[in-house]
Structure 1
Amino acid sequence: MIKLDAGWTFDNRYARLPERFFSRVSPTPVRAPKLAVFNRSLAEELGLNEEALRSEAGVAVLAGNRIPDGAEPLAQAYAGHQFGYFTMLGDGRAVLLGEHVTPSGKRVDIQLKGSGRTPYSRGGDGRAALGPMLREYIVSEAMHALGIPTTRSLAVVTTGETIRRETELPGAVLTRVASSHLRVGTFQYAAQWGTKEELRALADYALERHFPGGEETENRYLFLLEQVIARQAALIAKWQLVGFVHGVMNTDNMTISGETIDYGPCAFMDTYDLKTVFSSIDTEGRYAYGNQPYIGGWNLARLVESLLPLLNEDEKKAVALAQEALDQYPTLYHRYWLDGMRAKLGLAEAQEGDGGLIADLLGLMEEYRADYTNTFRALTLGEYTGMALFDASEFREWHERWQTRLSQESVSREEAYERMRRHNPAVIPRNHRVEEALAAAVDDGDYSVMERFLKALADPYAYSPEQAEYAELPPPSDRPYRTFCGT
């Protein structure tokens, strides 16, 4: 153990759970760690000393070569439905250093991803390639700036080693920060292989960590279920509103906290199309953009099944309580999404015809293969150029209906457009720009492209002149954009 003046304040409560839920394991040291990217603002928020973390000893911690004082490294056990098939999983290439408590009292997990083999590696090497770790850094920080709950990235360290995937690639370790790494799959694991008391211990820990005060309710485990359902409904609505496609919505990639996690084959949609799929392994479109809300409900049903033993001693009563809670998901999701779409069109008040107005716009966008983000950007700015949609008579008719609807608001037109600016990003991490940044960093060791990109993404609602180039569409291509998990 080495003591660094980095400001780590560990208080590791997950490590006090029954040992069924984890294996104590240390990261595997790497040959030549070097800091590639560091998140200064996040370090400050966490109360960590940047200078100490950038030092040789600090980088050794971020690489997994040294364990900071107070950490209790472990790999978490969990299960999950992967593309609909249930299997035993666990942290196969990640180690949780511990729970850090920030100066504001917030508790966060500090996890090293790509830190070597664990008992759950299932034949894998436990390592990560630089490209996917930089992708997670870019997209997770962009999601944070967009106001979408997400895990975050503190740093990426290159290892000085190569790993083999289809080719040899430079290795890296990502330091991930999360409200927790509790997943739907963690509860599936407990229900399948643990005792009822172990399941109860996990649920009590989740309540204490994420929903304090829940233990005072009449049925604390029903309260837990209702809170997770509400958070996931809100989260997936936010994904849909910005055109984000997660790519691999397995139950082990769905957090109890309501944060977006595991940025593998993720990407943002350009052309509006409900069938949009980016993941190279999602050949049937299970996790397509338009399916995400339904998969969210499917995943929550698996959580419901896992919590049934705690909801009521009477199985029929437990099922009735669970079903009533789960039935709220589509209602909540639709409300969050509809409220968000109204905001994207500058509408602060609800009218009965709003759903039709929104549906008609989306239908036109799909028919004319319009860019999702730039359509709303154009509506916000009142600049209608560059897309076939804007030349269509159907769009002009729709535009008149929208303007009439705006005139029925009690707020001024200026306030309505300001509302639109707050809800329609001027810039997203477009796929060709992500690839451009990754190629420069991985192939040439040039991080300046990524740094400029991150700067533009840091305030996506600014509508600054510097963001204009990042709003440009990719050049036409005969091949669809594909992403890969990196494992």
Structure 2
Amino acid sequence: MTLTIPFSNSYGKLPPRFFTRQAATPVAAPELIAFNDALAARFGIARGPDDVLARIFSGNEAPDGADPLAQVYAGHQFGGFSPQLGDGRALLLGEVEAPDGTRFDIQLKGAGRTPYSRGGDGRAWLGPVLREYVVSEAMAALGVPTTRALAAVATGEPVFRETALPGAVLTRVASSHIRVGTFQFFAARRDFEALKALFDYTCARHYPDARTPDELLTAVIDAQASLVAHWLSLGFIHGVMNTDNTALSGETIDYGPCAFIDDYHPQTVFSSIDRHGRYAYDNQADVIVWNMAQLATCLVPLCNDQDEAVERFTAAVHAMPGKIEAQWLARFGAKVGLSNANEDDRALISDLLDLMARNGADFTNTFRALAHGTARDQFTDRPAYDAWHSRWQARIESVPDAQSRMMQTNPAFIPRNHRVEEMIQAAVAGDFAPFHRLLQVLGAPYTDQPGAADLTRQPAPGERVQQTFCGT
């Protein structure tokens, strides 16, 4: 018995230089850890026996209609350009269409070496697989555009990093895996035929109303401005906002050293490879503008008058910070109960954030407590908070449904870093109960769940996560 996946593949019809076709490398003893039944049902995938799911989503067995391939791309990594990167440990199994006609990729991560592995083993160990599963599903429940997790499978083989670790494979679902770095790969080679094919494919798949490079650039800028403002409103730090990790679809992709802020500070950094804070929490808005400038550069050769295109694209990129600020104001305005926050409210919100930073207040708990009327307990300088609270109370007293709005925009639950680490350590020891508990609780982040109150607690000093690590 095999699993029926209604594949409808299109990326593999692009020219061969876009990818390398190959099968996954089999693993020794695949065992299913988790399967996302609700997500599978969306694509008409019926759950099969666990052993069948384990074989397929480890790469040991290719389902009918699959077209496994590794995509090639380039990218700026921490500001330095790498002319060829690509899927070094991932394979696109194929694509499926949802009933509404939306197309999605199904990709295996940790499926073995590819021509783009650059000396790596092409594998993933259990920790990053479970982290991406939990965090991506939590982000989806929080309402953030994101890739999703369809399955996690243990391989029964060790993966060697600093030490031997249990191996695993993640099955990721994405609107596509087209990245800024995909455009950079062909632009850097002056392969304008491939660049035009990629442009046409991206517009057709994601932005069907876009007919010109200007329209595509504007659409992607708008999507990314909205996405990053959403991240900021939740205290999320991506951790590795390289251009190869920036999806043209506007989804959050590649949950490597990602993290959520506990005590609020705008320059918070967790990623062990971000040694200079390039991708700190408060820098993410600037970085995405820089990334869009790289995309704009790639699109210039597709224009008839390239000098004029440079002027237009420069203006579009320079307008992006204003778009992010507008999205930021709308999202943070909702967090303090305002349905139509205006520029006069920006100081009120910023003053609260400054107060939180000075008091070491927990980002998530402070906003949730504000909705409950107990935020004063989050501050050590309570007279300063009382002064701010009086200003805020005067502002929202005539705003209808302010508390309801706050409850819907300020989650009670996020995947806190120390809880994710606890979950990983338990799983390494063979206990997956914390993993499944996190999935269940984080699936309803805006609902008070008294039985899970421990998952709202800040880390104790000995539990605090100082660094997060990339899965490679």
TM tier, smaller: over 0.9
Quote the residue 1:402 is aligned against.
392
Aligned match for 1:67, one of 52, 62, 66: 62
Instruction: Determine if contact 2:333/2:345 at 8 Å carries over to the other structure.
Output: yes
Secondary structure class of the residue paired with 2:470: coil
Matched, 1:189 2:193: no
Secondary structure class of the residue paired with 1:229: helix
Secondary structure class of the residue paired with 1:353: helix
Distance of 2:123 and 2:342 partners within structure 1: 52
Quote the residue 2:413 is aligned against.
427
Residue 178 of structure 2 aligns with an amino acid whose one-letter code is L
Distance of 1:193 and 1:127 partners within structure 2: 29
Instruction: Determine if contact 2:6/2:44 at 8 Å carries over to the other structure.
Output: no
Residue 192 of structure 2 aligns with an amino acid whose one-letter code is K
Secondary structure class of the residue paired with 1:75: strand
Quote the residue 1:179 is aligned against.
175
CA offsets per residue over residues 121-148 of structure 1, 9 Å max, x none? 0000000001110000000000000000
Q: Map of 1:282-301 to 2, 5 A cutoff? A: 282-301=274-293
Instruction: Determine if contact 1:144/1:152 at 8 Å carries over to the other structure.
Output: yes
Distance of 1:58 and 1:246 partners within structure 2: 30
Residue 245 of structure 2 aligns with an amino acid whose one-letter code is N
Secondary structure class of the residue paired with 2:94: strand
Distance apart, 1:376 and its partner CA = 0.3
Residue 58 of structure 1 aligns with an amino acid whose one-letter code is L
Distance of 2:272 and 2:342 partners within structure 1: 41
Aligned match for 1:96, one of 78, 92, 109: 92
Secondary structure class of the residue paired with 1:214: coil
User: Any stretches of 5+ residues in structure 2 without a counterpart?
Assistant: none
Secondary structure class of the residue paired with 1:110: strand
Distance apart, 1:105 and its partner CA = 2.4
Matched, 1:245 2:230: no
CA spacing shift, 1:287–1:352, aligned 2, 3 Å: closer
Quote the residue 1:315 is aligned against.
306
Aligned match for 1:280, one of 253, 272, 292: 272
Quote the residue 2:383 is aligned against.
393
Residue 365 of structure 1 aligns with an amino acid whose one-letter code is M
CA spacing shift, 1:479–1:38, aligned 2, 3 Å: closer
Distance apart, 1:274 and its partner CA = 1.1
CA offsets per residue over residues 92-138 of structure 1, 9 Å max, x none? 00000111123332210000000000000000000000111000000
Instruction: Determine if contact 2:418/2:465 at 8 Å carries over to the other structure.
Output: no
CA offsets per residue over residues 19-67 of structure 1, 9 Å max, x none? 11111111101111100111121112221111x2x34233211010111
Distance of 1:167 and 1:336 partners within structure 2: 44
Quote the residue 2:7 is aligned against.
10
The percent of aligned pairs where both chains have the same amino acid is 54
Q: Map of 1:43-62 to 2, 5 A cutoff? A: 43-50=40-47, 52=48, 54-62=49-57
Q: Map of 1:7-406 to 2, 5 A cutoff? A: 7-50=4-47, 52=48, 54-87=49-82, 88-215=84-211, 220-310=212-302, 312-384=303-375, 386-389=377-380, 391-406=381-396
Quote the residue 1:475 is aligned against.
460
Distance of 2:247 and 2:240 partners within structure 1: 13
CA spacing shift, 1:72–1:194, aligned 2, 3 Å: farther
Instruction: Determine if contact 1:80/1:250 at 8 Å carries over to the other structure.
Output: yes
Distance of 2:194 and 2:172 partners within structure 1: 27
Distance apart, 1:228 and its partner CA = 0.4
Distance of 1:302 and 1:126 partners within structure 2: 28
Distance of 2:67 and 2:463 partners within structure 1: 50
Residue 73 of structure 2 aligns with an amino acid whose one-letter code is Y
Distance apart, 1:324 and its partner CA = 2.1
Distance apart, 1:163 and its partner CA = 1.0
Distance of 1:353 and 1:16 partners within structure 2: 52
Secondary structure class of the residue paired with 2:461: coil
Distance of 1:467 and 1:81 partners within structure 2: 41
Residue 276 of structure 2 aligns with an amino acid whose one-letter code is E
Instruction: Determine if contact 1:426/1:467 at 8 Å carries over to the other structure.
Output: no
Instruction: Determine if contact 1:162/1:168 at 8 Å carries over to the other structure.
Output: yes
Distance of 1:455 and 1:371 partners within structure 2: 23
Instruction: Determine if contact 2:334/2:341 at 8 Å carries over to the other structure.
Output: no
Instruction: Determine if contact 1:61/1:68 at 8 Å carries over to the other structure.
Output: yes
Distance apart, 1:283 and its partner CA = 1.0
User: Which stretch has the larger CA shift, 36-45 or 19-28?
Assistant: 36-45
User: Any stretches of 5+ residues in structure 1 without a counterpart?
Assistant: none
Distance apart, 1:351 and its partner CA = 3.6
Distance apart, 1:401 and its partner CA = 0.2
Distance of 1:10 and 1:144 partners within structure 2: 23
Secondary structure class of the residue paired with 2:283: helix
Quote the residue 2:423 is aligned against.
437
CA offsets per residue over residues 143-164 of structure 1, 9 Å max, x none? 0000000001011101110010
Distance apart, 1:331 and its partner CA = 1.2
Distance of 1:293 and 1:213 partners within structure 2: 26
Distance of 1:211 and 1:77 partners within structure 2: 22
Secondary structure class of the residue paired with 1:273: coil
Distance apart, 1:470 and its partner CA = 1.1
Residue 158 of structure 1 aligns with an amino acid whose one-letter code is A
Residue 392 of structure 2 aligns with an amino acid whose one-letter code is W
CA spacing shift, 1:321–1:351, aligned 2, 3 Å: closer
Distance of 1:480 and 1:175 partners within structure 2: 26
Count of residues paired in the alignment: 471
